[in-house]
Structure 1
Amino acid sequence: MFKSVRHHEGLIYITLGNFVGATLTGIFWLLLATLQDVHEYGQLNYIIAIASLSSSISLLGLNTAVTTLVPQGHKQIDIQANQVILISATVCAIIVSLFNWLLGLFVMGMAFWMMSSYELLSRKLYSKYAINIIGARASQLVLSIILYSFFGIPGIIVGFIISFFVFSVTYFKTIPQFSKRFDKIRKEFKLSLHLYSYNLSNALLLYFDKLIIAPIYGYTILGYYQLGFQFLMFFSMISVSFYQYLIPEESSGRNRNRIRLYGIALSIIITIFVFVLAPVILQTFFPNYINSLSSIRILSLGIIPMMITGTLNSKFLAMKLTRYVLFSSIIYQVTQMVLIIVLGRQFGIQGISLSVVIAMIFQITFLGIAHFRLGKKNEQIN
């Protein structure tokens, strides 16, 4: 297994970038948990969720569209995509600025940074991608903690903003090539629309739950839940790495089914690891967050379906069968939104956490059935 993975240098770089980036992000949020009380921790996550979700909305699916289409030989589409992002990010930034003017800069910076990172992926510059991710996350960690000690929560936001803009060099380099042409984007509008639905679903997975939990259950409940969610996000970077690697590889016509199996096996091992060691980790490092134990254990079960979903979606996207990605995203989001309210009121933090895992299971069930039927159809044709 490991000998085979070593032959895929790109996967190693992507995994390294995402894993180290996730480690730095995890350290940042876990360190903040020791510096802030549970209520303030929940409040900060609520604010960051608003800005991050707004930035994800502004991307319009163009980040993944670039990653999918550039390896297939589509020229100038990355330039035109960046033109659109400048407009959409500005609009979203203006709207969010009505809530907090700093968040407007956050939205634009994050959008530019994301487009920079995905363009590096599309050109298979995997080592530069890793540097871009690690550099941004490392500077966020250092700057935000330092500025927090002087300015509180606004200092943390400023730390994010500076880091995003500094590591958006790839995006800024394309600005001199901007024009009034959008013909390439218009031709791929349908693909971008479906990718947008999928990407937005992922963004909602990361952020929308906080926008529901905080108003209904309060910042304290959100603080306890979010600590558990950070564990899921940390280890989910493995599945994200496989997903990001498989899209450009399979878009180029390469078969990577064995890599998929390795990813699923790895996710099972990680799930067992987190479930068993969660009590020890909490009691040792976060005794004040002991109420997060059940959340961590439940959410750790989501690592496996996240891996399966990512690998299946990468295959559908490479084949431009985006309708399956779109429908699965809708299934996930509707299920999650309903269950957060229903199970949350009934079982508290445990119910909120369980709603995420159940929604993932519904999603992979649909994708699995679609993949099976597609395989049968191809067999009949051949």
Structure 2
Amino acid sequence: MTILRNYRGLLRVAGGQVGAATSGAAFWLVMAWILHPVAYGHLSWLISIAMLISAFTVLGWGKTIATYYPKEGRNELLSGSVIIVLTASLLAGAVTSLVLDPAVGLLGIGLSLFSLAVYSDLGEQNYARYMWMWIGVRLASFILAVAIYLWWGMVSGIVAGLAIAYLTFGSRILKHFCINPGMREVRGKMGFALTTLGADVSTGAVNLLDKVLIGLYFGMAMLGFYQLAYRIFVALTILPKILLFYLLPEKSAGRRTTGIEILGILISVGLAGLTFILAPLVIPQLFPDFTESIGAIQIMGLAAIPATIAGVKTSELYSRERARVVLGSHLVALGVGVAGIMSLGKSFGLLGLAISMLILQITLAASLTFSPRLFSRGAVANKMVVGLASMTLAAVLLLSYLNIQPLQIEIVGNKVRGTGTAMGTFVAITVVHEKTEDAEAAIAEAFEEIKRIERLMSVQDKTSEIYALNHSGTDWVELSPEVLHVLTRAQYYSSLSGGAFDITVQPLMDLWMEKTKERGKMPVPDELSEALELVGWNNLIVDGDHSRARFVKYGMEVTLGGIAKGYALDRAVEVLMESGIESALVEIGGDLRAFGSKKWRIALQHPRERGEWLGVIELEDGAIVTSGDYARYFFLGRRRIHHLMDPRTGYPADKSISVTIITNKGIDADALSTAVFVMGPEEGEKLLSSPGIKGLIVAPDGEVIKSESWNFPLASSRP
């Protein structure tokens, strides 16, 4: 009878987890069909933040209930836990709603209450109710999220649908709410709960922090591809979750579960192998836009094996009230995972991120398996384990420090190279100089000059002059000579190109690169018309005599993304020259300017074939800038949406796929490359006939059009 009871309970826990995972998988598959990868990644990012908040606000009381209630059966523990978790989740939800998104704050509250509710079911060993709670909330969240999205058309609507479902099902735990609960039981379990909180937060970080970091550092498109692979990994980890949720109360009650544990590990091995074989066959058929995820799916599928072992070991340690070991193991794994994301992801992209997940799960399983043995061998071993965790975290902090340094210097002979980030992109300054110390100082000054220009001309920085102009309505705004100079040059190229180059396209950028990304739908005609009403370079009045500018129409905004980097290139070169540097190459996000006697070999990226080149040129003294639809883009169905807007139509420009301009100055090359890209080959060739300009246009059909002055060979050789 005991064996029958064990398996009946296991089947109900399994039913809950399988039902939840099945509906969850269906949810993410449907989202992949109706959202483009960027919005898909953004949704994952928001939900991950809500789940991390929930891990904090449950404060360890869920597992505390599941561990102690089967042994003691005291209702005071339930009522005290409800008071604490409800208070914490309401406070965290309010802050999140104000700082990020109200829907994310509500979802965090709902997840916290639901988590406490299902753990109370486990504590009471009411496996049937546990099963239906999971199945019910997942089905409700699926239906509500899809319905609200189809009605509202925003990713926030999907999150709101999830929040409503979890709040509805989680509110059942409030029946244990009591105004004056007896807190003695809670105080007696406080130490275990706090240790469990650390383990829960570290577990949440292990499972969720990767999405948050990838979204921040690698972009939402990369996160979208990673998320599909991760969701398949989650489907494969149904088994570890079943084992954890079922084994915890069973082990706490003193029952043997060895046979179930071995069976679970063997099944995970089979599932991982099956995923590795089937991924290349199935993904291209079901998700042709996600074929980049195949390698990541295979690698992360293997991670299901150590994840299963980790689930078994975690339940064993909790049942023995050894939450500190779980906490330490998750901290070690978290450190390894973050280090992997920042190093492997940077070096190998999506595959590197998947490998970091596999290494994280292996580290977690190994630590949960071997750390208890070390702890059982006395104080010296305890110090070894603590030292290992400390060293791992120290390594992560060091790696993070190195990754956020504003400028990193590399010296090879008389060549000094400084790299960093500015203006939202990668910056590299390479100097050839005999005195390396002088070269380092000059590079630092040039880099700071680029940062200064960013602070002057940023759209997002609230202290910048461009931000002040964009938020001035139609009032005059006093501007510095530099900003006035860039605005004046922008208007010159607007006039020269017949309006193809227009810095007032910021409303179109907001519509296409923000709203359309989030909704995953094409703008409706009224939205496009409203945005176009606010575009027009001749409605920006620049008064150089009085050092000021203003808009004619309220709501207009400018973006200097098509000209500011070129100006920054020129200023960086001037700073290097003033420092006595005779030869250097400055790069800002692929835009380059060189000076001096050295010839620099520059590869021209093929706009459609990754890793292939249109040709290699030698740049000695001048600027080279390329505008293309392959750097910042996303797909909406089969349509490529990118950041180079045609101010005449309101749509992303589609007459070119790549334009390269070579001129003496960066500011001219930057503006011309954008203008010619929007104009297309037929109109753009006229601009390329001007003296001192060399240009290359790649048309949508792949035809390459060269200006008459272009004297560089086009070859497929690598630099």
TM over 0.5: yes
Equivalent residue number for residue 158 of structure 1? 160
- Kept in 2, the 8 Å contact 1:53–1:204? The answer is yes
Worse-superposed segment, 228-237 or 49-58: 49-58
Distance 1:198 1:290, change over 3 A: same
Are 2:206 and 1:205 equivalent residues in the alignment?
yes
| Cα shift at 1:183 | 2.1
Aligned counterpart, 2:7 = 8
* Greater Cα shift, 193-202 or 326-335: 193-202
In structure 2, do the counterparts of structure 1 residues 6 and 278 end up closer, same or farther at CA, with 3 Å as the change threshold?
Answer: farther
Q: Which residue of 2 aligns with 1:92?
A: 92
**What aligned pairs does 1:1-382 form with structure 2 within 5 A after superposition?**
7-75=6-74, 76-98=76-98, 99-151=100-152, 152-175=154-177, 177-372=178-373
Whether the 8 Å CA contact 1:80–1:178 is kept in 2: the answer is no
Q: As a proportion of its length, which structure holds more helix? A: 1
Whether the aligned pair in 1 keeps the contact of 2:107 and 2:167 (CA below 8 Å) is no
User: What's 2:405 paired with?
Assistant: none
Deviations 1:138-195 (A, max 9, x none): 01111111111111212212211211122124312112x3425422222112211221
Note closer, same or farther for the CA distance 1:49–1:20 as it changes in structure 2 (3 Å cut): same
1:270-298 residue CA offsets vs partner (Å, 9 max, x unmatched)? 11111111122211210100001111111
**Cα distance, 1:206 vs. partner?**
2.7
2: distance between equivalents of 1:348 and 1:72? 48
1:260 CA drift (Å): 1.1
Alpha-carbon contact 2:70-2:249 (below 8 Å) kept: yes
Question: Within 2, Cα distance between the matches of 1:26 and 1:121?
Answer: 24
AA partner of residue 160 (structure 1): L
CA contact (8 A) 1:213 1:222 kept: yes
Counterpart AA for 2:93: A
**Secondary structure at 2:321 match in 1:** coil
CA positional deviation for 1:268: 0.8
Structure 1 residue 322: Cα displacement = 2.0
| Higher relative contact order, chain-length normalized (CA < 8 Å, sep 6+) | 1
Note if contact 2:82-2:174 (Cα within 8 Å) is conserved in structure 1: no
Output the CA distance in 2 between the equivalents of 1:311 and 1:61.
19
Alignment size in residue pairs: 373
**What is the rounded CA distance, in whole Å, between the counterparts of 2:23 and 2:132 in structure 1?**
13
Question: How many angstroms apart in 2 are the aligned matches of 1:315 and 1:51?
Answer: 28
Residue 671 of structure 2 corresponds to none
Residues 149-158 or 79-88, more deviating: 149-158
Paired with 2:179 and 2:298, the residues of 1 have a C-alpha distance of: 48
Q: Residue type of the partner of 1:155? A: G
Q: Which residue pairs with 2:585 in the alignment?
A: none
Q: In 2 relative to 1, CA 73–296 (structure 1 residues): closer, same or farther, beyond 3 Å?
A: same
Contact persistence 2:325–2:372 (CA under 8 A): no
**CA shift for structure 1 position 115:** 0.9
Structure 1 residue 263 displacement after superposition: 1.2
1:22–1:250 Cα change, 3 Å = same
**C-alpha distance after superposition, 1:330-378 (max 9, x if no partner):** 111111111100000000011111111112212222222235568999x
Give 3-state SS (helix, strand or coil) of 1:255's partner. Answer: coil
2: CA distance between counterparts of 1:301 and 1:5? 32
Shift of 1:205: 2.6
Q: Distance in 2 between matches of 1:248 and 1:282?
A: 38
Which deviations, in whole Å up to 9, do the C-alpha atoms of 1:214-254 show, x marking residues without a partner? 11110000000000000011121211111111111111111
Q: Deviations over 1:46-105 (max 9, x none)?
A: 111112211221111111111111001151212111110011101111221121122221
Query: 1:295 and 1:194 mapped to 2: Cα distance?
Result: 34
Distance of 2:279 and 2:179 partners within structure 1:
50
Contact between 2:107 and 2:163, CA under 8 Å: does it hold in 1?
yes
Q: Which runs of 5+ in 1 are unaligned?
A: 378-382
The question of whether the paired residues in 2 share the 8 Å contact of 1:236 and 1:303 is answered with yes
Report the alpha carbon displacement of residue 326 of structure 1 after superposing the two structures with TM.
Answer: 1.4
Give the CA deviation at 1:256. 1.3
Separation of aligned partners in 1, 2:360 and 2:105: 31
| One-letter amino acid matched to 1:149 | L
Q: TM-score, normalised by structure 2?
A: 0.50
CA distance in 2, matches of 1:268, 1:230: 18
**1:29, distance to aligned residue in structure 2 (A):** 0.7
Q: Which structure 2 residue ranges, 5 or more long, are not aligned? A: 379-719
CA shift digits 1:103-129 (9 cap, x unpaired): 221111111111111111110110111
AA aligned opposite 2:214: I
Which structure shows the bigger proportion of residues in strand conformation? 2
* 1:380 match: none
CA shift at 1:8, angstroms? 1.3
Question: Is the 2:24–2:138 contact (alpha carbons within 8 Å) kept by the matching residues of 1?
Answer: yes
Paired with 1:111 and 1:160, the residues of 2 have a C-alpha distance of: 13
Contact 1:5–1:259, Cα closer than 8 Å, also in 2 = no
